Structure 1
Amino acid sequence: MRKFPDHYDGIVRRTAGRLPLPSSSDRMPADLASFIGCFYQHTDQEVRDAGHGRFTLLGRTVDFESIAAIDWTYELPEENDHHLWRMKLCQLEVLHSLLADAEPAGHRTALALLNSFSDARSFAAPDVFSVGWSPYGASHRLLAMLSGLSVGLAAGSLDPGTRSEVEESARLDAGFLWHNIEHDLRNNHTERNLAALCLYHLAAGSISDSRAARLDRDVHRIIEATVLPDGMQIERSAMYQGLTVMSLEIFAACPFLSPATRTLAQERATAAAGAWLFLTHRDGDIALFNDSWIGEVPPPATILRTDRVSVPDSLPDAGYFRLSSGPIDALMDAGEIGPRWNPGHGHADFLAVEVDVDGHRFIVDPGTSQYSTGPQRMYERSAAGHNGPRYLDVEPVEYSGCFKVGKLASAAPIAATVLEDLPTESIGGTITTPAGLCIRVICALNGGLLIVDRWNSSDTPGATTLLIPNDWRLDTDRRRTVRAAQEGAQTAITVYEGAIDGIEERTWSRRYLQPEQATAVTLAPTRVPSGGQMLVFSVGVGVFDDVPAIRARVEALLRAHGGHEASVRVDPPC
């Protein structure tokens, strides 16, 4: 392609020319088109702005002043070597709302954007596969375009000329995708490519036998490989989980896929919807484990038929567990960093928790503020940036660049049959690091949580760092207690074994490119006579009389099952 870009362009266009046009978009199931559209819906103001070449993406507004002046290679200054803002621009997700709009002005804007983008894309351009001809971008563009086309046609608001031009643009993207399914990246990229191609041929109402067989084989494989039996997508991100729910609904609706593949898709779609809701906080937005941020996908409860979705008690295949006690909710990660073949979206959040008090996020994940290589990306992926028990200056995972991961690790849950020995509902897990084993047990107690962290080695100091957003007002005695309050909620962290070792300002990011201030409270364990280190603290436990007894039972359980914890693999660098 690099040597003969014009020849490659001809290959793509000839492939596209052999594809049927998506002329049956108006016969696409209306509920499916509407569901897909929820992921690409833009506000009225954003639609009007697009007509003037002004775009607000990822919280950043860039005004090109006109569609003719749009620089499709624009790089946001805040980004470094991964230009997600530019990728979002080229995905043209606003096409859904423009085409679904009943107003002719929106349709004219859609055609103007497609023509401007078409004029700018070239196989001879630098970064060709990440800008004009990105397979991932083409997939999102197709999903937005075809769902918008379906809604607009069903409403009878699209004229034949607009319909024809949009169909031709969609066919070119589909022709390109048929040559560039991202099997090398697998995971959500391959899933998105296949979902876009399936939606295209569903909209076309036609597909050759050979292409149908290829899609059936590839779709079946990607579902089995990347959607776990409990419904969680294997990269274990609540954000990408929402996109997986969409893909599975598309696969289940395609009559050209085999009955076995469609059944598998529907079964996993049902489980995936439950898993997505499981990883949702009381505020309606998603958990931030691994690469996730709020706003990339809709809040799950706003688009799912929650009355028809069964939310599980846990996600055992993914390693996610939940524990509630009075006004306090905790989500814990006791699973792998991600798939061994490509864990690029994984963070070292082993045994980390996200804790809410009265529906307000209290102990938070650092989130994901950017994909670009640098200290911020490193911090947000590191064990030191998360709140699981860790050994100081020991990272269980090695990172390089935006997404590369070298040495792998995974946490493992403590079996429910072991935790049944405790007199209260509990969750827990283990992680093996180069410095030794770490164990966390969380118990529901008197409307709060009692958390016991255990390190089996004394050679390297242990630490647990709790990240608290700055909308909480904190008061601490510097050694044992941190009191926290905000409007409508108050709670306290109390340390029973160990001490508060430090308090410093850090950041967390619930939205991409929008870091917020937070306070990091680092707790230090004490050495115990039996060996190793121990930290015992509570969140929101109002009555302390039962703490010593529960703590003693947890310690007894850990001693009794000292050899029970799973032997967690620590792989050599790839």
Structure 2
Amino acid sequence: MVSFFDNSESFNSFKPFNFKFLNVSHCFENETVDWELCTVSRLWRYNLHYFEFLSDGSRSDIEKISLIQQWIDKNPVDTGTGWEPYCVSLRIVSWIKYFSCRDMDVPAEALKSLYQQCIWLESNLELHILANHYFENIKAIYLAGLFFKSRRADRWASGYAIKLNEQIVEQFLPDGGHYERSSLYHQVITKGLLELFSFTESVENPELNGLIPLDFLEQYICRALDFSQQIVFPNGDLPNFNDASSVPCLTEWNMRYAESVNIFSQGHIAEAYNYKSSGYAGIKLTNDMFVMKTGPVGPDYQPGHTHCDILSYELMLAGSKVIVDTGVYEYQPGECRAHCRSTQAHNTVQVAGYEQTEVWGDFRVARRVSSVECDLNSSNNSHRITGAYKGFFARPAGLVSHTRAVDVTVENDAISCLEINDIITASGSDNCVNRIHLHPSIIPVLNDEDTNVYLYLEGDLIAKLNFKGFDGVSIMDTEYYPDFGVREANKCLVLSSSGYFPQSFSYSIEVVLK
């Protein structure tokens, strides 16, 4: 699960009981919140229980205290959505932040409830999930240890500081990325580091000083910010690999938060980069960007946010998205969730209709791709990114190896051409399908005479695609999900090939108009 609070856009809060999460609005009538509202998704209800709207400046303190009181009255201990550990964790932090930054008398009942939630959470840590959930659990208890004054609180601060130190080292990779390999969750956990830094810096109790060294936190925050600055698109969007949303609000929020505590990204933005640990490789220019997913699916013990997107990519030209990842519409189990995680939803090769990795349920993964490798070689104005993996475990004839080499030519700080070469190695024969998902603003036109595809943006020709080694090229209708709860119609190019392995095929994207 994840939080999607954006103070500037997510809430139409002229009314205290009007909420907007995941691009879905709901106004509760009669100033009474239905905390188990059944007409919205479970993730929407999660966001309601997070209480991150306490940071919304357009709501008055009277309204916020009223909502806190309603929650206490309507949500008895260990009952309902609000008492799922992830919800409890984020709500604890929201209440502590709100109470800490207000010159007000905090209602005794609210403090009692907050303390009770912390005690309950300590007995319900999500050790069966770990990863970002566990990080949020122990972060909440640690901050409660700094907030409250008691022997138990001191134990929370000292004990959970040790756990946080361990989790930060484990969850952040050497290149600065978060180990779940999702750009969105990277931003969420980076926000958590910033909250830890801010609260730890403000500690006045000498016995609690240094539990989490500030220079240790700053080191990890700087690396995380550097990573973000490199992989984010020129317009601020995030790559949509694994479970991720391209909306840039969290990236901008983290940068502002970091500056407010005098932490600044020091990283140099490279034209070509290869983050082998995190699995992001690409070319970043002033208005153009190519980024490819080149790493493992995630931590072996928690790959729940995995998609079948290895060697998939996204492309921006002249500040406009051209080729996109399908994205994520929702976390609800079902056909849409399954499609978003499938191989056909990404810009990569699918063999005989099988999946790269066996994803199932809403957050489950069985056998997954292995031997994932990536190399970057640059010379003058050209860059070659080569990635490879083994996958398609469900294929009866045996495993499949996929190697993709992408040659990117750069001229005058712009991408002028891409050549994408795929080699599929396996036993026997089968059909392969290569898909290219286009941004909704891009109109493809297939020329039957030369089998080229021409891409148009607002009536202007921007690129021409040439194909080699394919049996057929077609255009199909599909959907694009740039953010949770948002669906847009778009086009997908479908390139097919069949025969005995090994098979090799390629296509080039020649940029025509900049």
TM range (shorter): 0.7 to 0.9
Quote how far apart the aligned CAs of 1:97 are: 2.1
Q: 1:202 aligns with which of 114, 121, 146?
A: 146
> 1:149 is matched with which residue?
99
Q: 1:244 aligns with which of 172, 175, 189?
A: 189
Task: Tell me if the contact between 1:244 and 1:272 (Cα under 8 Å) persists in the aligned partners.
Answer: no
Q: Which has the higher strand share?
A: 2
Quote how far apart the aligned CAs of 1:424 are: 2.9
Measure the CA separation in 1 of the matches of 2:382 and 2:317.
20
Greater shift in the superposed pair: 487-496 or 500-509? 487-496
Measure the CA separation in 1 of the matches of 2:425 and 2:357.
19
Q: Does 1:279 align with 2:237?
A: no
Tell me the alpha carbon deviations over residues 438-464 of structure 1, each in whole angstroms, 9 at most, x when there is no partner.
111111126121111111236122221
Measure the CA separation in 2 of the matches of 1:146 and 1:209.
16
Measure the CA separation in 2 of the matches of 1:213 and 1:307.
28
Write out aligned runs for 1:110-509 (5 A): 110-123=64-77, 125=79, 128=80, 131-153=81-103, 159-160=104-105, 162=106, 166-204=110-148, 208-253=153-198, 254=200, 256=208, 258=210, 262-295=214-247, 297-300=249-252, 303=256, 305=259, 308-310=265-267, 311=269, 313-324=273-284, 328-410=288-370, 412-416=372-376, 419=377, 424-433=382-391, 434=393, 435-445=399-409, 447-457=416-426, 459-478=429-448, 480-487=451-458, 490-498=462-470, 500-509=472-481
- Aligned-residue Cα RMSD (Å) equals 3.0
Are residues 483 and 202 of structure 1, via their aligned partners in 2, closer, same or farther at CA, if it must alter by over 3 Å?
A: farther
Are residues 282 and 295 of structure 1, via their aligned partners in 2, closer, same or farther at CA, if it must alter by over 3 Å?
A: closer
Quote how far apart the aligned CAs of 1:369 are: 0.4
Are residues 411 and 257 of structure 1, via their aligned partners in 2, closer, same or farther at CA, if it must alter by over 3 Å?
A: farther
> 1:55 is matched with which residue?
19
Task: Tell me if the contact between 2:238 and 2:248 (Cα under 8 Å) persists in the aligned partners.
Answer: no
Quote how far apart the aligned CAs of 1:123 are: 4.1
Are residues 134 and 296 of structure 1, via their aligned partners in 2, closer, same or farther at CA, if it must alter by over 3 Å?
A: farther
Quote how far apart the aligned CAs of 1:237 are: 0.9
Quote how far apart the aligned CAs of 1:146 are: 2.6
Structure 2 residue identity aligned to 1:453 = D
Tell me the alpha carbon deviations over residues 343-362 of structure 1, each in whole angstroms, 9 at most, x when there is no partner.
10111101000111112111
Greater shift in the superposed pair: 299-308 or 376-385? 299-308
Structure 2 residue identity aligned to 1:504 = M
Measure the CA separation in 2 of the matches of 1:44 and 1:333.
29
Structure 2 residue identity aligned to 1:266 = E
Q: Does 1:84 align with 2:84?
A: no
Quote how far apart the aligned CAs of 1:272 are: 1.0
Quote how far apart the aligned CAs of 1:295 are: 4.6
Measure the CA separation in 2 of the matches of 1:224 and 1:390.
36
> 1:73 is matched with which residue?
36
Measure the CA separation in 1 of the matches of 2:144 and 2:249.
21
Structure 2 residue identity aligned to 1:459 = S
Quote how far apart the aligned CAs of 1:209 are: 4.9
Measure the CA separation in 2 of the matches of 1:64 and 1:536.
54
Task: Tell me if the contact between 1:67 and 1:113 (Cα under 8 Å) persists in the aligned partners.
Answer: no
Q: Does 1:513 align with 2:485?
A: yes
Are residues 260 and 166 of structure 1, via their aligned partners in 2, closer, same or farther at CA, if it must alter by over 3 Å?
A: closer
Measure the CA separation in 2 of the matches of 1:132 and 1:333.
35
Quote how far apart the aligned CAs of 1:383 are: 1.3
Structure 2 residue identity aligned to 1:116 = Q
Tell me the alpha carbon deviations over residues 283-330 of structure 1, each in whole angstroms, 9 at most, x when there is no partner.
212111111114595233763559633156332211111124796421
Quote how far apart the aligned CAs of 1:379 are: 0.9
Measure the CA separation in 1 of the matches of 2:476 and 2:31.
46
Partner secondary structure for residue 184 of structure 1: coil
Quote how far apart the aligned CAs of 1:166 are: 4.8
> 2:413 is matched with which residue?
none
Greater shift in the superposed pair: 214-223 or 336-345? 214-223
Task: Tell me if the contact between 1:329 and 1:355 (Cα under 8 Å) persists in the aligned partners.
Answer: yes
Greater shift in the superposed pair: 367-376 or 317-326? 317-326
Higher relative contact order, structure no. (Cα contacts within 8 Å, ≥ 6 residues apart): 1
Task: Tell me if the contact between 1:242 and 1:300 (Cα under 8 Å) persists in the aligned partners.
Answer: no
Greater shift in the superposed pair: 269-278 or 255-264? 255-264
Measure the CA separation in 1 of the matches of 2:379 and 2:401.
21
Length, aligned pairs only: 481
Structure 1 residue identity aligned to 2:93 = L
Q: Which has the higher helix share?
A: 1
Partner secondary structure for residue 251 of structure 1: helix
Measure the CA separation in 2 of the matches of 1:257 and 1:524.
62
Structure 2 residue identity aligned to 1:430 = A
Tell me the alpha carbon deviations over residues 475-495 of structure 1, each in whole angstroms, 9 at most, x when there is no partner.
121563222222488222222
Measure the CA separation in 1 of the matches of 2:244 and 2:217.
24
Partner secondary structure for residue 132 of structure 1: helix
Are residues 272 and 423 of structure 1, via their aligned partners in 2, closer, same or farther at CA, if it must alter by over 3 Å?
A: closer
Q: Does 1:64 align with 2:36?
A: no
Structure 2 residue identity aligned to 1:75 = C
Structure 1 residue identity aligned to 2:433 = A
TM-score, structure 1 as length reference: 0.76
Measure the CA separation in 2 of the matches of 1:363 and 1:144.
37
Quote how far apart the aligned CAs of 1:399 are: 2.3
Measure the CA separation in 2 of the matches of 1:357 and 1:368.
23
Quote how far apart the aligned CAs of 1:407 are: 1.4
Tell me the alpha carbon deviations over residues 496-519 of structure 1, each in whole angstroms, 9 at most, x when there is no partner.
443553211111111112121111
Are residues 264 and 527 of structure 1, via their aligned partners in 2, closer, same or farther at CA, if it must alter by over 3 Å?
A: farther
Task: Tell me if the contact between 1:526 and 1:534 (Cα under 8 Å) persists in the aligned partners.
Answer: no
Are residues 135 and 448 of structure 1, via their aligned partners in 2, closer, same or farther at CA, if it must alter by over 3 Å?
A: same
> 1:24 is matched with which residue?
none
Taking every aligned residue pair, what percent have the same amino acid on both sides?
A: 20
Task: Tell me if the contact between 2:469 and 2:506 (Cα under 8 Å) persists in the aligned partners.
Answer: yes
Greater shift in the superposed pair: 254-263 or 311-320? 254-263
Partner secondary structure for residue 13 of structure 2: helix
Are residues 38 and 96 of structure 1, via their aligned partners in 2, closer, same or farther at CA, if it must alter by over 3 Å?
A: farther
